[in-house]
Each structure stands twice: as structure tokens, then as C-alpha cells.
Amino acid sequence: MADCMQEWPEPIVRVQAVAESGLAAIPGCYVKPPRDRPAQQHLAAGGDNVLREPSDDSIPVIDLGELLAAGEGRIDGLITEAVAAACRDWGFFQVVNHGVAPELMRAVREAWRGFFRLPISAKQQYANQPRTYEGYGSRVGVQKGGPLDWGDYYFLHLAPEAAKSPDKYWPTNPAICKEVSEEYGREVTRLCEVLMKVLSASLGLEEARFQEAFGGAECGACLRANYYPRCPQPDLTLGLSAHSDPGVLTVLLADEHVRGLQVRRADGEWVTVQPVRDDAFIVNVGDQIQILSNSVYTSVEHRVIVNAKEERISLALFYNPKGDVPIAPAPELVTPDRPPLYPPMTFDEYRVYIRKNGPRGKAQLEGFKGQAVPGTGNK
Ligand SMILES: O=C(O)CCC(=O)C(=O)O
């Protein structure tokens, strides 16, 4: 990776430290341009900036109970239609009865909550670098003077075995963090494999088609535990700026008490997601599915708002292609009316953009559209 990825361009300041310093006004580097700030209706009236009651219950909910009980070989039309509609209309859906034990979900949330509640001095030994991003971080992107978001995070590789983060990157306090995260990672990865079959089938493809295209058993899984401290001016900033996820699928375990995830609806409005249950996952399609499906399904921008009263955590598991497999539109989804929209590219090449530039909406994919696609008449 290029040299600029060796070091952060400026000393890292933990958002937790800024929040705990008791400042009434947030530093300018966290202030977003007016067009990117949360709309007032998403923040409470009365100036306390606590989130309002649910503004949305329309992210589709997919119940996987019957499918898992019947065995994964039984993917029926009802489920593929529901997933297809969710992917077309939202790029997001929630899953319930997904096979991951609620106790495990609770345990992994508590482990990471425990980590983020440690004093900053106890966490600094895990400070990350842009070369791998593994460890305790407070920015994405290496541009000097670049905008910052109101959140700290912890990033780790869980799979494949060869890419797993070495022990030195794992917090030893809480002691259970590694064990519980690895078990959680295995379970959620299994869920992703089921979802991949359903997604393939929902596009009329062989069930194994997606998994094979993305690298078979060597697909990657990474965990990003997000921590959004209380913010004195949540109307001016974001916990995480608008972005689409670069990988295949993201499975998010949101905070069970505090909402914050917003999804950009097809009409451009930001909608706050309300998980239907504490043990629901929020799933979204990443850029690699947009590429492989030749834009039949599109990855959707999302962002995080913060609030003055409550801190928030979330755990995002990113299911990614094997790093060195070129991903391009599936020939079955290319037609004379719908030529291939994206040139082939490996995920290792693709993810450098976000690692360098930070979250930039859908700028990366839009930038690739229209670039020369080898072997076609397409520009
Ligand atoms: O915190 C959330 O709700 C979303 C996190 C997210 O989008 C991410 O980690 O990429």
C-alpha cells in the first residue's frame, strides 16, 4: 500500500476524550457543512437533542426461521421475493430468527461496551495505523485536515484464518473480548453464507453463484465495533459520515437502547432505523453486490447521528470478497440493454479508496461507472 498509508496525517485525538473534556461547543474539525447535518426533525424539540420516537418502521423485516428450520436447501419463492424487494427498494433489511443466539449477541455487545468504557490510557496500546486499520481508531482516511466524525472504533479481521488479526491486536480487557467476538464472527459469517444463497436465488442465479464469485470459503469477515460518545452539539456533526460499504454484505448489531443509524431512502430523505427487536440484525448490501449484480441491487448510503444524552455502540460485521479475486458484473446479468457497468477489480484494490479518503457517500462506485470495461463496446 502507498506510503501515505503508513501513518496518520495528524496526531489522533480520541472522540471520547473530547466528549469527556466537557466542551460546550465541538471543535471545528467535527462540524459538518450545513447540507450534511442531521435534519432538525430527527433531533428532539426543546433543545436537548435526544432522539425522538421512531420515525420509521418500514425497513423490511425478513424472518429466516422457517428457512433455517427446513434446512438451507429449501429457499422458497416467498423469501427470495421478500429479499429481492428489500434490496431493490431499500438496499437494507432486518433479519429475525436468524440462528445467532441472543445470549451471544448480548455477550458480544457487553464485551465491547466494557472495552470502550475503559479509560483512554488503557486503550491506547491498541492504537491503530492506516496500514491495516486493525485496533483502536478514531478516523478513517489519511487526508491532512480532513473532516472527522464523532466516533471511536475498533477494527479486526476475523476470517479467513490466514488473515485473522494476530493476538497483539486483541484487547485483553475485558478478557472475554476475543473469545466472544470470534464465536460471534463464526456465527454471523454462517448467516452471511445463508444470505448469499438467498441473494443469488433472488436474482435467478444458482444459489452458490455469489459465494463462488466472491472467493468461496476464503471470503473475508471483519468486525468494526463503533463507539459514539455523547455529543454537546449533535445537530452539527455525525457519528459516521454518509457512505456505502465497500464489501459484500454488512450485518449490523445496533445498540439496543439508542438509535442512530440513518439510511438514505430512494427519494433522498434520511430515515432513522428502528431495530424491530433487540436481537434483530440490520443487513445491507455492499458495493461488491452492486458490481456483481450489474446494479440490479445497489448499495445504499447510510450514516450515523449522535445525541447529547446517551452514548451509543454498534457492531458491524463486514462480509468481504477474497482480496485478490477480480469482481465484475456476472455475465448472466449483462444484456444488450444492460452492458457491464463496472470494470473488474479486486477487493484489495477497491478498499484502498475508502481507507485513503474516508467515507465519501457513493463517490467511489459512481467514479467507476463508465470507465472502460474490457471486451465490451461499453466505454
Ligand atoms: O453505527 C451504526 O449504526 C452503523 C455503523 C456503520 O455504518 C459502519 O460501521 O460502517
The span from the CA of 363 to the CA of 366, in Å, is 5
- Cα(7) to ligand 1 centroid in Å equals 24
Q: Which ligand 1 atom sits closest to the C-alpha of 239?
A: 1
- Cα(252) to ligand 1 centroid in Å equals 7
Q: Which ligand 1 atom sits closest to the C-alpha of 282?
A: 3
- Cα(91) to ligand 1 centroid in Å equals 15
**pLDDT value for 191:** 97
261 in contact with ligand 1, CB cutoff 6 A: yes
Asked whether residue 379 is domain-assigned, the answer is: no
Asked whether residue 375 is domain-assigned, the answer is: no
Asked whether residue 376 is domain-assigned, the answer is: no
pLDDT beneath 50: ranges in the chain: 1-2, 45-51, 53-54, 376-379
**pLDDT value for 1:** 45
Asked whether residue 349 is domain-assigned, the answer is: yes
- Cα(287) to ligand 1 centroid in Å equals 15
For 20, the grid coordinates are 469527556
The predicted-structure confidence for 66-111, as pLDDT tens digits, reads as follows 999 988 667 888 999 999 999 999 999 999 999 999 999 999 999 9
The predicted-structure confidence for 13-38, as pLDDT tens digits, reads as follows 999 999 999 999 999 999 999 999 99
| Residue 53 domain boundaries | 3-366
Closest protein CA for atom 5 of ligand 1: 316
**pLDDT value for 70:** 87
Asked whether residue 373 is domain-assigned, the answer is: no
Number of domain units in the chain: 1
Q: Look up the CATH number of the domain holding residue 310.
A: 2.60.120.330
